[in-house]
Amino acid sequence: MPGRRWRAPGRRRGAGAASVPAVEIRVFWPLAFPCHSRRVTDSATRLLNWYAGHARTLPWRSPPGAPLPADPDWPYRVWLSEIMLQQTTVAAVQPYFTAFTARWPDVAALAAADDADVMQAWAGLGYYARARNLLACARAVVRDHGGRFPGDEAVLRSLPGIGDYTAAAVAAFGFGRHAIVIDGNVERVTTRLFAIATPLPAARAVIRSRLAALVPAAAGDFAQAMMDLAGRICTPRAPRCEACPLRPDCAAAAAGNPEEYPVKPPRRARPVRHGTTWWIEAGGAVLTVVRPARGLLGGMRALPSCDWQGKAAPPLPGDWHDLGTVSHGFTHFALQLQVLGQRLATRPALDGDWLPISQLDGAGLPTLFAKAAVLARSQPDRMEAR
DNA sequence: CAGTCGTGGGC
DNA sequence: TGCCCAAGACT
């Protein structure tokens, strides 16, 4: 039986994890679903056995085979991590997750936070709509759900910033519910496993139905295992099939072309846009603005700038000094941002906030404007006071 | 459906 | 260097 093949992982963390008896762990295992074929059940078991010995240790993850942490804020931590992990690497998320959970240890604390503080804390992580939706979601949980995250997938799905993937992930990882968790990792492993040649996104219906027959009772561990497998073995390029527990089952490996999955539509060329930002300095302070809530870098603190789609007039007349150009790549276009600077004896009457230059590093500028600020500060002699 | 929305790392 | 990529959601 599958349970006998399980062995205790080398290292474990979390309350009570080390004392969990084998018999208790076994109930999480995919013990013979009548609707599953033998082969599919074996695939899930092979993956879980691999995961038991190879799971990454992450602060938002309970160890393989372990019961859910008793911490009442566990779902909050899972949710926070999943929002941060959307299109973002584990390495990039970790310091932000640590900072957020230290500063806002539960959903009520986050819901009570000032918008500006959360946006500032999110600065540098990207996709800033996530931060706006993060606050909206925390406040909805407090207002509509008594400060406790719902465990039901459909209810989770109705909250701001939570789509199909995140709803399933929070239900499975945060509440131990049975859910079909599908992200880019799972898509890659699944399309290779079954050699699904339909291009994305049309392939998603097939992926879901194939996966539904594969997910065992331990749905959370299974999904985490798929992600670790995708990150370390079933990688986008040069997959290490020789080390893969699913090698015996994998149609793409058998055909010798795992790298050809998933099939994606051709990418559009990324245009280059040109824009201007203005460094306006007076008395050791620089003028900053908060960008409109929606759109690119929405809601973030920034330097005054044009919309880099057309011409824009400078916020004040005078002799502008060319401080250079910043190159920055966004998802669907590249930006060449010219930085023009002017140092004034007194602050002109302009909308925005004057920040001491010494405090700019912690001010929560997105990377684009942080680059522009570095450029401006690196050549103070280029700007003459008038 | 297809476009919008960041950033840093790897090759 | 330039391109692809990473635990997607929203419109």
Residue A265 inside a domain? The answer is: no
Token pair in block for residue A8:
């205790």
Question: Is the minimum distance from the CB of A382 to strand C below 7 Å?
Answer: no
Same domain, A61 and A100: no
Residues 235-254 of chain A: which lie with beta carbon within 7 Å of strand C? 236-237
- Three-state DSSP at A189 gives helix
Same domain, A376 and A297: yes
Same domain, A185 and A170: no
Overall number of domains in chain A = 3
Burial of A327 (0-12, 13-18, 19+ CB in 10 A): exposed
What confidence score (pLDDT) does residue A380 get?
83
Asked if A53 and A64 touch (Cβ cutoff 8 Å), the reply is no
The distance (Å) linking the CA of A41 with the C1' of C2 is 43
The distance (Å) linking the CA of A306 with the C1' of C5 is 30
Protein residues closer than 7 Å by CB to strand B: A 87-89, 91-92, 123-129, 201-202, 237, 265, 268, 295-298, 328-332, 366-368
Same domain, A151 and A284: no
Residue A339 inside a domain? The answer is: yes
The distance (Å) linking the CA of A42 with the C1' of B6 is 40
One DSSP character per residue, A315-376 reads SS-S--EEEEEEEEE-SS-EEEEEEEEEEESS----SSEEEEGGGGGGS---HHHHHHHHHH
Question: Which residue is closest to C10 in terms of CA–C1' distance?
Answer: A161
Same domain, A290 and A378: yes
Question: Which residue is closest to B5 in terms of CA–C1' distance?
Answer: A127
Same domain, A292 and A308: yes
Same domain, A170 and A186: no
Q: Tell me which of A136, A160, A175 is where a domain ends.
A: A175
What confidence score (pLDDT) does residue A35 get?
46
How many CA atoms within 13 Å lie on the side-chain side of A4?
1
Question: Is the minimum distance from the CB of A207 to strand C below 7 Å?
Answer: no
Residue A304 inside a domain? The answer is: yes
Question: Which residue is closest to B1 in terms of CA–C1' distance?
Answer: A201
Asked if A192 and A208 touch (Cβ cutoff 8 Å), the reply is no
**A281 included as an active-site residue:** no
Residue A267 inside a domain? The answer is: no
Question: Is the minimum distance from the CB of A88 to strand C below 7 Å?
Answer: yes
Nucleotides of C under 7 A from a protein CB: 3-10
Residue A266 inside a domain? The answer is: no
Of the residues A82, A153, A187, A281, only one is catalytic, namely: A82
CATH of the domain at A216: 1.10.1670.10
Asked if A339 and A323 touch (Cβ cutoff 8 Å), the reply is yes
Q: Tell me which of A175, A206, A235 is where a domain ends.
A: A175
- Is the link from the previous residue into A201 a cis peptide, with omega within 30 of 0? yes
Query: For residues A82 and A61, what is the distance between their CA atoms, to the nearest angstrom?
Result: 11
Give the pairing of strands A301-302 and A334-344. unpaired
Task: Name the nt closest to A130 by C-alpha to C1'.
Answer: C9
CATH of the domain at A305: 3.90.79.10
Asked if A345 and A384 touch (Cβ cutoff 8 Å), the reply is no
> Residues for chain A: how many in total?
386
Nucleotides of B under 7 A from a protein CB: 1-9, 11
Asked if A366 and A326 touch (Cβ cutoff 8 Å), the reply is no
Residues 145-184 of chain A: which lie with beta carbon within 7 Å of strand C? 160-167, 169, 183-184
The distance (Å) linking the CA of A188 with the C1' of B9 is 20
Task: Name the nt closest to A224 by C-alpha to C1'.
Answer: C7
Query: For residues A192 and A245, what is the distance between their CA atoms, to the nearest angstrom?
Result: 13
Query: For residues A134 and A128, what is the distance between their CA atoms, to the nearest angstrom?
Result: 10
Same domain, A277 and A377: yes
pTM of the model: 0.89
* Enclosing H/E stretch for A245: none
Query: For residues A273 and A335, what is the distance between their CA atoms, to the nearest angstrom?
Result: 5
Tokens 């027959």 correspond to what residue?
A213
Question: Is the minimum distance from the CB of A346 to strand C below 7 Å?
Answer: no
What confidence score (pLDDT) does residue A359 get?
96
What confidence score (pLDDT) does residue A313 get?
87
Residue A376 inside a domain? The answer is: yes
Token pair in block for residue A242:
């020789």
Residue A190 inside a domain? The answer is: yes
Collect all residues with Cβ–Cβ distance below 8 Å to A21 and sequence separation of at least 6.
Answer: none
The distance (Å) linking the CA of A52 with the C1' of B8 is 30
Enter the DSSP assignment of A266. Answer: P
Same domain, A146 and A196: no
**Domain carrying residue A196:** 2-67+180-260
What confidence score (pLDDT) does residue A52 get?
97
Q: Tell me which of A129, A149, A175 is where a domain ends.
A: A175
Asked if A124 and A366 touch (Cβ cutoff 8 Å), the reply is yes
Residue A127 inside a domain? The answer is: yes
What confidence score (pLDDT) does residue A307 get?
75
Question: Is the minimum distance from the CB of A199 to strand C below 7 Å?
Answer: no
pLDDT tens, N- to C-terminus, chain A (386 residues): 222 222 222 222 232 233 222 223 333 444 434 444 566 779 999 999 999 999 999 999 999 999 999 999 999 999 999 999 999 999 999 999 999 999 999 999 999 999 999 999 999 999 999 999 999 999 999 999 999 999 999 999 999 999 999 999 999 999 999 999 999 999 999 999 999 999 999 999 999 999 999 999 999 999 999 999 999 999 999 999 999 999 999 999 999 999 999 999 988 899 999 999 999 999 999 999 999 999 999 999 999 998 776 667 899 999 999 999 999 999 999 999 999 999 999 999 999 999 999 999 999 999 999 999 999 999 888 886 55
Same domain, A81 and A130: yes
Same domain, A57 and A103: no
- Three-state DSSP at A17 gives helix
Question: Is the minimum distance from the CB of A224 to strand C below 7 Å?
Answer: yes
Same domain, A207 and A105: no
Asked if A336 and A322 touch (Cβ cutoff 8 Å), the reply is no
Tokens 């503080």 correspond to what residue?
A117
- Is the link from the previous residue into A262 a cis peptide, with omega within 30 of 0? yes
Collect all residues with Cβ–Cβ distance below 8 Å to A160 and sequence separation of at least 6.
Answer: A133, A136, A137, A140
